[in-house]
Structure formats: structure tokens, C-alpha cells
Amino acid sequence: MNYIIFSGVSWEAYSYKRLLDVLPEREDIVFAGTMSSSEQAESGIRSLSLEEIYRLPVKDFTVLVSSPYWLQDVLALSPAFVVALLEHCPEGEDGSLWDKYSGLLAAQADLTATASERLYLEQLLSRSGVVYLSGDSPLSYGLIRRGERLYFLADYEAVWKRALEELWHPQDKAADVEPWAAIQLRHRAEYYLSMCTKLPKQPTVHYLAASYLYLLGDERAAQLLTRSFELMLLHDYTDCLHSHYRFFSAMEAKRGNLELAVRQYEITAFTAEERAVSEQLQHWLDSGRRELVQAELYRLNEDGAAAIRLLEGAADPEARSLLLLNYTDTFQWEKALRLQQEPENTAGDPAAAVLQGSGAAISILQQIPVMEGTLYLLYGKRHAAIRSFLRAAGADQGARALFAEMADLEEAVGRLRGRMADDEV
């Protein structure tokens, strides 16, 4: 397999060198930027400028992107597969811009990987196909031979290898093989369960064990969450109704105990907006629209991925409005726009749907042209983007903020390319 590496930093500072050593079926590996001849010889990787990369048969390459500001180039190149390597915002970058475009990069990627456990968990709640690039098991879980050298793989490296292999050779769905994503979740759950034994009074390890068990669909999740909640209260962290108690509602929703789940959510609903949501849930429950209740409870617990899985197959006409909300929340904006443009959508009016939970209520209709403009920008259609932003702003002065963000993005991309060009000097 051929790979192109788009890094946010120089080769010297690139932190995924070991992962490149254990890439499966490694053939041509290209680093976008500059490497010394000894670095190239040592790593078996060649460096090329952006112009040279544009001349490659990119359809035969998988790109590994570790800065969201490469997204425009990645989309323009249209490679075989995109792998997003997500990182926390580096010092000196605008945090909100970085996070937004990291979200968009992850949504565009065929595979998302991160060495941050916080980002891993956040991504698991947004989409499937996420690899955690770190781990705590000291054992070797596989091997890769490259020429004379034999590499032993840590658990996450073995998962990384399998995830990449499955991009090119998808697993037969009928095969009785545990998916790599579930294996990694299981390894994380095992780790935190063992930590719970070692640290029985530590609420965070219990919360993390509960989170992984919840994602695995393991019923022990509630037990671990209960323990975590108790420990939080014992430690006088009384502000844990939102963070801990509300999580019970997602677990009960997953188990199908919707009446209990709605009651649990209601206990955590303080603001007028949350109380309105609570009433809506109760109303749906009373009218037997259980899929909506379940999906909305997932979304209210930030589990957009579970909500989307449910809603994509749901028959309820209003499911489409909720789906739109979840696509928007998880940066799957192309899907959101496609859904918005589908004629059947008139059945459920998305204009009526309101983005809840984040405080301010923003009409989806206002959000649509912003998403549209951002995507135009990412696909290099600057004028179309400006038109969309102007439409989004309407009569008020909102366009200024959108143009400012556009300028910030262009500046960040410029800095990245500038760094790459500096390396070449």
C-alpha cells in the first residue's frame, strides 16, 4: 500500500514515526515536506513538495493527515483513503478553529486515529471507525516483517494495522471475526476494570470503565457508573448530576428501559430548555414514538454516533429532523446537506427542529448555509462560500464573524504551507 503523510510539523518533530514502521503492506511512502537524504534512507520514506504530490497517481495512495489545515489539499487530491490523526490544538493555534476543522477532517476521513484518550472517547461518540493510538498492555499482539527487520506490535499497533488493512480489504461481514473497534474497546474496558480493583476509591477510573462498558453494550456499565457517582458524592463533588447521573439515562435507553431513562433525564433537567426537552421526551413516550425517545436520549448524552445508527433506519417522519441535528453536531455536514435537499424531507420540517443542549437555540435553517459555505471553502470554491455566508448572515451583521473565520483558516493554511516551504529552503 502507498501512503502520503501530511504533517503539521517537520519530519524531525513528527511523532508517528513508529506507526509508519508498522504500516501494513508498505510500499511507496511519501512525506509532504523536506527530509534529509539520511532521514530518507533510514526511514525508507521519500519526501516530496506539494506540487510533486499533486502529480502522483493519488488514487493509489492513502493519506495520513495530522493537521486539519491540510483538509483543503486532501479533498482536492481525492486519494483512495483518508486517515485523520487527531491531536489537541497545538500552542499558538486558535483552539475553536482547530477543533472545528479537526471535526470536519474526522467526518471526511475513512478512518480516524488519535493518541489522546479524551479525543478517542469524543470521536467514539461521534462516529465509528476510531483507533486509539496508545495502550497500557505490555504484551506483543502481532508482528510485521519489513526486509530484515521484524517489528513486534503493541495492542494498539495491531489494531492500527488491522484497521488500515480493512480499508483496502474490507472484512467479510459474514465472517465470524470480532471487529477491531470492539477489540480495542474491550482492551480499554479491561484496563479500567483492573484499575478499579487497584483504585477502588477513584471515581474517574470507575467512570471511564463505565464509559467503555457502555460503548460495548455491557450491562455492567450501570454498576460502575453507580460506584463512580457514589464516590463523587463521597468526595463532595456534588456537581455531578449532569456529568454522571445523566449518563444513566443513556445506559437505560440502550437497554430499552425508556420510561426510566426519561425519568432519569428529567432529574438532571434544570434550565427551561432542558425542561422543555424533558416534556418533549415524555410526549413522544406517551405517543409510542420510542425510537425518537431513544435517539434523543443518546444525543442529549452526546452520543451522536448511537443516535445516528438508530435514526438512519428509523421510520418515524420526525426521525429525519433529529438525524439532521445529529449530523450537524458530529460535523457530518455533507450528509446533513444531502438530507436537507431530499424531497421527502418536507414530511418533517427541519426548520422546526431546534439545536438544543448547547444553550442558545439556533434554527437549523440558519445553520445550513454556514455548513454549505464551509464545505464550499474546503472544496476551494471561495466565491460560492462567500455567497453562502452572506445568505446565512441575512440582514444582520453576522457575516463579519464568518468572513473573519474564513480569513483565519486561510491564514492557518498559509502558515502550514509556509512552514513546509521553509523546510525546503
Closest CA to 43 of 62, 60, 24, 19: 19
The answer to the question of residue 272 lying near other proteins (CB under 8 A) is: no
Residues written for the chain: 425
What residue type is 149 in one-letter code? R
Residue choice 69, 141, 229, 333 for contact with other proteins (CB under 8 A): 141
CB of 132 to other proteins, least distance (A): 13
Binding mask 283-322 for other proteins (x = CB under 8 A): ----------------------------------------
Report the C-alpha gap between 307 and 297 in whole angstroms.
8
Residue choice 138, 170, 313, 359 for contact with other proteins (CB under 8 A): 138
- Which residue lies nearer to other proteins by CB, 48 or 193? 193
Closest CA to 409 of 376, 369, 361: 376
User: 425: how many CB neighbours lie within 10 A of its CB?
Assistant: 5
Question: Residue 95 corresponds to which cell in the numbers above?
Answer: 483552539
Query: Cell match 433525564: residue?
Result: 265
Residue choice 87, 155, 291, 318 for contact with other proteins (CB under 8 A): 155
Count of residues of this chain found to bind other proteins when the rule CB under 8 A is applied: 26
Closest CA to 421 of 36, 12, 32: 32
Residue choice 12, 54, 152, 201 for contact with other proteins (CB under 8 A): 152
* All residues at 6 or more sequence positions from 380 whose CB lies less than 8 Å from its CB, including other chains: 72, 75, 76
What residue type is 279 in one-letter code? E
Binding mask 165-184 for other proteins (x = CB under 8 A): ------------xx-x--x-
Binding mask 4-43 for other proteins (x = CB under 8 A): --------------x-------------------------
Report the C-alpha gap between 170 and 162 in whole angstroms.
10
Residue choice 5, 133, 158, 402 for contact with other proteins (CB under 8 A): 158
How many CA atoms lie within 13 Å of 89's alpha carbon, on the beta-carbon side?
13
Answer yes or no: are the C-beta atoms of 220 and 211 closer than 8 Å: no
Task: Identify which range of 48-56, 149-157, 272-280, 343-351 contacts other proteins by CB under 8 A.
Answer: 149-157
Binding mask 87-126 for other proteins (x = CB under 8 A): ----------------------------------------
Residue choice 38, 92, 150, 239 for contact with other proteins (CB under 8 A): 150
Answer yes or no: are the C-beta atoms of 408 and 89 closer than 8 Å: no
- Phi, psi at residue 138, to the nearest 5°? -85, 0
CB of 200 to other proteins, least distance (A): 18
Task: Identify which range of 103-111, 153-161, 198-206, 337-345 contacts other proteins by CB under 8 A.
Answer: 153-161
Residue ranges binding other proteins (CB under 8 A)? 18, 137-143, 145, 149-152, 154-155, 158-159, 162, 177-178, 180, 183, 186, 189-190, 193
